[in-house]
Chain A
């Protein structure tokens, strides 16, 4: 009895540089921009030529910095991204969801 005849897995579960490079990802080694990368890692988005790009950085900033150092150490050329952190509209408020997870302390995981 075949319950699962085939599982075609083309997983790219870690969102990597491949997708981001086309938008001049400020955290990519070849387009590294330290100031912007540091600012956008925790925000999950940046703006490139006025266009918002949402991206999930899975690692903290030092990881991307180390990758950049390793890349340049091997002679890699860098063309720094011109992206910048997105600026919120004046009337927009953020942070209205997410507080309960913090209040549950060690049980803060929201999935179950």
Chain B
């Protein structure tokens, strides 16, 4: 794995916009970097790298699923900051095997040591369009004879086709908040669903209604199946959370995914698979014997409220998360090239032992990847 400087395509911004990436640059007056999509460099992986990432991702999928079952069996909900009111919802969706659409493992990888799991974005992963489509077009424009670890788009359409059988009227509604990046992700997922033959509609999550017996859309139509890019831990605590157990809407991702997106999955999977080469030591409550560690909120998002404890000085990020508790994770040495720290986002469509289907790389000058970190394309050298 290496980072290679590269000349951006002429009018690269127009090209990525034409493919749907409207959110390619930060706000001009914000503290965010001016560029989110960064093609002034790319990461080059060897076939051996890709084999390692693919097999590790599939193994992590199996292990985290086992960990979710362990949490349910041993009722570890309180440890993970999950309220009692959500337990029935989780367990019924688990037993009914409500289907998963997608997920993304964030991995530390340096090209020589095994990939290490930093966290699992199991519920509301974004940066999907960039990984599935935008970097593929970039490859076709600049290196058409090269390859990329990326069958995300085809697998996504195939997965929607699989899900169609269990979606009422072969229709899915898609919801998100009014945010440019989230809207882009949902619009892309809608496009894939339509290519799979489903009928679709999109509306803001705050337009979901309750008619006294069931969830309805902005037009009062009952909601049969909803893809929601909105975290379960928020849904269960909001006003309509009290209706979730009584309603029959199929939610994608399903409620059991809130076990996997919770950072508490990390100490549980470590307990089940201690010293596994793809895991970092992680503990509830304290740092134990770890010398350098990262403290993460159980329900944190986008790198907020992280404390990186290391020799010299601690690094902290701001935010409003952490009320439910924290986990302590052994610090992973992120791959640092040309002054940039890289994290590999490894995508799964579905959730089983062969779901791994592509990667996207995000990098930052800071050792903590946040929502302002840049997306950099990749190729297989």
Measuring CB to CB, which residues of chain A are less than 8 angstroms from any residue of chain B?
Answer: 1-4, 6-15, 43-45, 47, 52-56, 58, 86, 88-89, 91-101, 103-105, 107-112
Contact = CB atoms under 8 A, between A and B. Distances in A.
A82 B207 CA distance: 23
Given A54-B202, A54-B203, A109 B210 contact: no
Nearest to A99: B238
8 nearest CB pairs, A to B: A52-B219, A96-B240, A13-B20, A111-B126, A98-B206, A54-B201, A56-B202, A100-B234
B129 interface: yes
Contact of B237 (A94, A100, A109): A100
Given A11-B19, A14-B187, A86 B50 contact: no
Interface string B207-221: 111111000111111
A10 B192 CA distance: 9
Contacts of B153: 7, 9
Given A47-B219, A100-B238, A94 B150 contact: no
24 contacts: A4-B148, A7-B153, A8-B154, A12-B194, A13-B191, A44-B202, A52-B218, A52-B221, A56-B203, A89-B211, A92-B210, A92-B211, A94-B218, A95-B206, A97-B240, A98-B177, A98-B238, A107-B320, A107-B321, A109-B177, A110-B176, A110-B229, A111-B124, A112-B301
Nearest to B150: A4
Interface string B129-162: 1000100110000000001111101100000000
A6 B176 CA distance: 30
Interface residues of B, number: 73
B230 interface: yes
Nearest to B229: A111
A86 B201 CA distance: 15
B281 interface: no
A14 B20 contact: yes
Interface in B161-216: 173, 175-177, 179, 181-185, 187-188, 190-191, 194-195, 201-212, 216
B377 interface: no
A42 to B, nearest CB: 8
A100 to B, nearest CB: 4
A43 to B, nearest CB: 6
A108 B177 contact: yes
B133 A9 contact: yes
A105 B216 CA distance: 27
A60 B221 CA distance: 25
B263 to A, nearest CB: 12
Contacts of B191: 11-13
Contact of A111 (B50, B185, B201, B219): B185
A7 B154 contact: yes
Interface in B101-149: 121, 124-126, 129, 133, 136-137, 147-149
A101 B230 contact: yes
A58 B238 CA distance: 26
Nearest to B126: A111
A93 to B, nearest CB: 5
A86 B220 contact: yes
Nearest to A15: B187
A108 B380 CA distance: 35
Output the residue of B150, B188, B301 with the most chain A CB within 10 A. Answer: B301
B70 to A, nearest CB: 24
Contacts of A47: 219
Contacts of A45: 201, 203, 207, 217-219
B221 A7 contact: no
Contacts of B190: 15, 56
Contact of B121 (A88, A99, A104, A112): A112
Contacts of A88: 209, 220
A7 B136 CA distance: 8
